[in-house]
């Protein structure tokens, strides 16, 4: 699957959800906040900042699912503003996860305040650094996105 196809898959899912939930307003801000929440949930599952605990991170599958929850919202925000990237900006940069999560949070906030294509791309670059540091390949992410996309449709059908 090509990266560009994800934007269309997300557009279809968003349309399905908005019709199913009878959404009548612009939900850009809600999706922006949801993205921040999903990033925080991923950080929580990595436990990278929990210096007070000896418990390790969640299993890889849990981390990957949390990661693609963010991907759904990033695609959705791009669709709303017409920012459709041709390819995944996969950056291979080793970085401490806590620093990466803080940088990513700042990048998301910058995009939400200044909705430019450059700031949108910067979000994807930060997420690619997270993927690299969690050892997720693009194929891992694409496959996990497909699985979660189907799960999201099923949730809507069952009154989630």
Residue 111 reports pLDDT greater than 90: yes
pLDDT of residue 1: 52
Residue 95 in tokens? 């970085």
| SS3 per residue for 23-83 | CCCCCHHHHHHHHHHHHHHHHHHHCCCCCCCCCCCCCHHHHHHHHHHHHHHHHHHHHHHCC
Average pLDDT value over all residues in the chain:
95
Residue 136 in tokens? 């997720």
Encode pLDDT of 1-32 as tens digits: 578 899 999 999 999 999 888 898 999 999 99
CB-based contact 107:81 (threshold 8 Å): no
The structure's pTM equals: 0.94
Q: How many CA atoms lie within 13 A of 83 on its CB side?
A: 19
pLDDT of residue 49: 98
Residue 39 in tokens? 């990033």
pLDDT of residue 159: 78
The residue assigned the tokens 């940069």 is 93
């Amino acid at each position: 699957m090509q990266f560009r196809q994800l934007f269309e898959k997300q557009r279809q899912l968003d349309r399905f959800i908005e019709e199913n939930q009878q959404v009548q307003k612009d939900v850009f801000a809600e999706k922006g906040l949801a993205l921040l929440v999903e990033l925080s949930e991923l950080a929580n599952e990595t436990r990278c900042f929990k210096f007070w605990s000896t418990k390790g991170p969640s299993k890889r599958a849990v981390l990957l699912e949390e990661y693609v929850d963010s991907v759904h919202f990033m695609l959705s925000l791009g669709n709303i503003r017409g920012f459709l990237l041709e390819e995944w900006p996969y950056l291979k940069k080793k970085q401490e996860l806590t620093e990466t999560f803080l940088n990513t949070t700042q990048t998301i906030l910058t995009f939400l305040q200044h909705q430019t294509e450059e700031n949108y791309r910067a979000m994807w670059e930060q997420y690619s650094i997270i993927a690299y540091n969690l050892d997720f390949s693009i194929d891992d992410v694409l496959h996990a996105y497909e699985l979660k996309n189907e799960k999201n449709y099923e949730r809507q059908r069952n009154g989630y």
